[in-house]
């Protein structure tokens, strides 16, 4: 299937260690459901974490065995798409508190052997991200190429940038906010009240054969209205009647929009747990990255570069909230691109506007920095080492360039396989005689295109990447760049 990651399966990992939650409560064990697409490269530098919204799950792309619908962000995840699985290793995990495989209120409470129900501790977006961090550590990934998501997924992406500034190079936050507003909390509360007013909810202790479907259905109907826009509803349904030509002067389902909302509500009760709805909407309410009422202060520690996207017709997470995020980042001198896409779909536009999303996300991810493609485990050699040592290290590691380090660990020079050949031909004895001391280097935060241009101008095929103290933190080679460009074509 072109453009698809094909058939996929959800994996599970359980961490026995307790997770200390923001509330001070403790959760153990913690199971995380996740899917991965694409391949993790040798340097483990091409991983992208995708975070889902309120009712999403780990199944972002491809098809489960026998299913006819793909994952929820299949339009942007796959070979050749924005989250290009030919280039990136994409990870998507289900949040804790959810009901799609990660530990949540429907999981078995080890203290009682029964489902947690309301004994499940209240969780926050920060807790969701802490649990995700365990998964990313478990996969051996020190730094994500990017973390991305829409709606609650965007909140998680922002939380990653604040909680783990070194753990993601890029952050993509779409149709989201950095702090929930009164209106957002209000809609969440109406949904929760609908669930809790259902007698079948039974204080959260409902059996599997008697679920609070009426309350959850109503909550989703209200919620779903907020995910659309006035224009989208008008365009989809107008004042059309459902299966009749005249109004009936009664209270049965008459309008198409009523029928549609019933359908959305019914479908939701078959795929979502009522208690998870309470917990996750509460986590949304608590989300607030501001410090002392200042978003700029709250985002000050972020180190990633950001893409912030809003949807013009989104009245649940209106564009002004995305602008606030972009302004707060810019106030800190943090690189940020902001774009409001034109769309009539409302909040769910981030799930439906594949063309605009692919263009914006793809362009943002393609803007690569040296640190995105450098090899971080490239071998080096000490200045005092012998030519024989240098030859051995090159052969063992199959490399042609060895940065030479001075005693203090800073860059003293570079030696190439050509230098070794010359040393043999001219009977040189020490590394000092053959290495180049005037080394052309690259900086981790410069664009790859700049480093490539320097290599081309000087006819050099690899540059040591050095930090501000001239310590070698990696190596960028023309081979790595041409592989990348080949894959982009
Ligand atoms: C974001 C995450 O992380 S994951 C969560 C994302 N997924 C969801 O939110 C799932 C539920 N939401 C939806 O289906 C959303 O509307 C979207 C955004 C995903 C899909 O949007 P669209 O493609 O525009 O679909 P639309 O909203 O028109 O709904 C189509 C459904 O409504 C049904 N429908 C349309 N008109 C009517 C009607 N008059 N009466 C009854 N049902 C109707 C269709 O038959 C279809 O049903 P199906 O989904 O069971 O096949
Ligand atoms: N419709 C999506 C977006 C909500 O923010 C969901 O149900 O998760």
For the Cβ of 350 lying below 6 angstroms from any atom of ligand 1, the answer is no
Ligand 1 atom having least distance to the Cα of 348 = 18
Give the pLDDT confidence of 61-102 residue by residue, as tens digits.
999 999 999 999 999 999 999 999 999 999 999 999 999 999
428 pLDDT band (50/70/90 cuts)?
confident
Highest mean pLDDT out of 314-318, 388-392, 455-459: 314-318
CA 265 to chain centre: 28
Question: Is 459 among the catalytic positions?
Answer: no
Per-residue pLDDT tens over the stretch 114-141: 999 999 999 999 999 999 999 999 999 9
Instruction: Work out which ligand 1 atom sits closest to the CA atom of 268.
Output: 11
Ligand 1 centroid to residue 358 C-alpha, Å: 21
DSSP 386: B
Instruction: Check whether the bond before 18 is cis (ω within 30° of 0).
Output: no
CA of 396 to the centre of ligand 1 (A): 56
Question: According to the annotation, is 239 in a ligand binding site?
Answer: no
Say whether 371 counts as a known binding-site residue: no
Residue of 176, 271, 315, 347 best suited for mutating to test ligand 2, as the one with most atoms within 8 Å of CB: 347
Q: How many residues does the chain have?
A: 489
Predicted model pTM? 0.84
Find the helix or strand (DSSP H, E) in which 402 lies.
Answer: strand 401-405
113: number of Cβ within 10 Å: 7
Terminal alpha carbon distance of the chain: 19
CA angle 471, 475, 479 (to 5 degrees): 170
Measured by CA distance, the residue closest to atom 1 of ligand 1 is 53
* Half-sphere exposure (Cβ direction) of 373: Cα atoms closer than 13 Å: 26
The helix-helix angle for 387-397 and 417-426 (nearest 10°) equals 140
Catalytic residue list contains 93: no
| The one catalytic residue among 314, 322, 372, 401 | 314
Rounded distance, CA 377 to CA 391, Å?
18
Look at residues 172, 136, 158, 161 and name the one whose alpha carbon lies nearest to residue 362. Answer: 172
* Beta carbon of 53 within 6 Å of any ligand 1 atom: yes
DSSP letter for each residue of 332-375: TT--EEEEEE--SS-TTHHHH-HHHHHHHHHHHHHS-BHHHH-B
The maximal CA–CA distance of the chain, rounded, in angstroms, is: 103
C-beta of 176 in contact with ligand 1 (< 6 A): no
Among 93, 102, 151, 477, the active-site one is 151
Evaluate whether 225 touches 236 at the Cβ level (below 8 Å). Answer: no
Model confidence at 470, pLDDT cuts 50, 70, 90, reads very high
The bound ligand whose nearest atom lies closest to the alpha carbon of 51 is 1
């Amino acid at each position: 299937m072109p453009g698809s990651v094909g058939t996929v399966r959800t994996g599970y990992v359980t961490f026995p260690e307790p997770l200390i939650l923001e509330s001070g409560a403790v959760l153990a064990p913690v199971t995380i459901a996740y899917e991965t697409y694409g391949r993790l490269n040798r340097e483990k530098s091409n991983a992208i974490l995708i975070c889902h919204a309120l009712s999403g799950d780990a199944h972002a792309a491809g098809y489960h065995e026998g299913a006819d619908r793909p994952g929820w962000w299949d339009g942007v995840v796959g070979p050749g798409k924005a989250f290009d699985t030919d280039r990136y290793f994409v990870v998507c995990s289900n949040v804790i508190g959810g009901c799609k495989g990660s530990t949540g209120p429907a999981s078995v409470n080890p203290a009682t052997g029964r489902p947690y129900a309301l004994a499940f501790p209240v969780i926050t977006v920060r807790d969701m991200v802490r649990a995700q961090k365990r998964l990313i550590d478990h996969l051996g990934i020190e730094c994500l190429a990017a973390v991305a998501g829409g709606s609650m997924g965007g909140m998680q992406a922002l939380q990653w940038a604040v909680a783990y500034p070194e753990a993601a190079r890029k952050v993509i936050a779409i149709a989201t906010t950095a702090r929930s507003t009164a209106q957002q909390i209000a809609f969440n509360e109406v949904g929760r009240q609908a669930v809790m007013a259902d007698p079948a909810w039974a204080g959260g202790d409902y059996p599997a054969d008697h679920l609070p479907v009426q309350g959850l259905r109503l909550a989703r109907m209200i919620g779903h209205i907020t995910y659309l826009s006035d224009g989208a509803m008008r365009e989809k349904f107008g004042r059309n009647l459902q299966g009749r030509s005249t109004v009936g002067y009664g209270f049965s389902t008459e309008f198409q929009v009523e029928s549609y909302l019933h359908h959305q509500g019914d479908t939701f009760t078959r795929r979502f747990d009522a208690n998870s709805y309470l917990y996750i909407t509460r986590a949304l309410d608590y989300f607030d990255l501001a410090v002392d009422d200042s978003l700029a202060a709250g985002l000050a520690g972020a180190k990633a570069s950001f893409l912030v996207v809003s949807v013009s017709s989104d009245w649940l997470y209106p564009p002004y909230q995305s602008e606030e995020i972009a302004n707060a980042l810019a106030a800190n001198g943090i690189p940020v691109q902001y774009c409001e896409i034109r769309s009539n779909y409302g909040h769910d536009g981030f799930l439906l506007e594949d063309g605009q999303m692919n263009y914006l996300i793809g362009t943002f991810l393609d803007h690569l920095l040296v640190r995105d493609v450098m090899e971080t485990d490239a071998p080096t050699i000490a200045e005092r080492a012998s030519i024989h040592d240098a030859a051995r290290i090159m052969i063992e590691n199959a490399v042609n360039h060895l940065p030479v380090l001075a005693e203090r660990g800073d860059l003293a020079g570079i030696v190439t396989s050509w230098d070794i050949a010359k040393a043999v031909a001219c009977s040189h004895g020490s590394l000092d005689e053959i290495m180049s001391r005037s080394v052309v280097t690259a900086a981790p935060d410069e664009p790859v295109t700049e480093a490539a241009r320097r290599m081309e101008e000087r006819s050099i095929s690899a540059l040591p990447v050095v930090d501000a103290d001239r310590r070698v933190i990696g190596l960028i080679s023309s081979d790595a760049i041409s592989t990348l460009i080949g894959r982009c074509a």
